[in-house]
Amino acid sequence: MKIIKVAVVDDEPFARKKLLNFLKNNPDIKIVGEFANGKDALQNLPSLHADVLFLDIQMPEIDGFQILQNLHMQNPPLVVFVTAFDQYAITAFEHHALDYLLKPFDAERFEKTLMRVRENLSRDETATITGRLQQLLGELDRKPEFLQRLMLKSGAEIYFLKVSEIDWIEAAGNYLTLHSGRKTHLLRETMNNITKKLDPAVFVRIHRSQIVNIDRVKKLQSDAHGDYLILLESGQELTLTRTYRDNLLKRFSTD
């Protein structure tokens, strides 16, 4: 039986303990290191010679991608990303990672990941995976300033939505409702956070709880009081509140 040496990096104690417990249930797994921050991971990982690294992405000070960018090893481990639905990891999930675990994951999902790990190690595809990971790091160095796509979860499914396909966004409690044509999608995010991640030349705040894609604006209608009604290409009507009026109007040339 081939023993697989595994290291875990996750700043959340509960998530790290859960992952370690799942790993310990497998006799072919040997845990060679566990770290709660990027600094300790970078200092110790090179000497551990781990076959696989379970790596949290979003951590304070040094995140998962920064660890990989600064982890100089002749034979780097296979990487399984662990995330609490971090949006900028989409490229990794779609093209480059051996696998990923979306928090909160269960034992069944973990076993599928472990199966992929075993299959790749048995076929000795480390070079291929490592090459894909280097591509990812190269893309991160030139990643766009603003979000290009969003990763959405619906039940057990995960799918991707291009930001350019969003008509408008409205706050819905602890979530945002993304309107794209006739479809709506829920995203667990705050209005303030999403505003910082979207291109302000395209997505404009028109209300404390609404953002509009100006490429979807068909026309503006003003009334006698100086208020505006926004008509979108989809036929949706939105109200431009006075507080945010200049946000939108300054993006259009006026007579």
Q: What is the CATH number of the domain that holds 169?
A: 2.40.50.1020
Mean predicted confidence (pLDDT) in 168-195: 90
CATH number, residue 127: 3.40.50.2300
Q: How many CB atoms are located within 10 Å of the residue 92 CB?
A: 25
The strand pairing partners of 8, in sequence order, are 34, 54
Are residues 131 and 156 both part of a single domain? no
User: HSE of 60 in the Cβ direction (CA atoms, 13 Å)?
Assistant: 3
* Full-model pTM: 0.58
Mean predicted confidence (pLDDT) in 3-28: 94
Report the number of distinct structural domains present in the chain.
2
Are residues 130 and 169 both part of a single domain? no
Which of 7-21, 91-105, 115-129 comes out lowest in average pLDDT?
91-105
| 183 lies in some domain | yes
The residue segments making up the domain with residue 177 are 149-249
Using the 3D structure, point to which of 116, 141, 166 is the last residue of a domain: 141
Calpha distance 38→118 (Å, rounded): 26
| 255 lies in some domain | no
| 231 lies in some domain | yes
Mean predicted confidence (pLDDT) in 143-166: 77
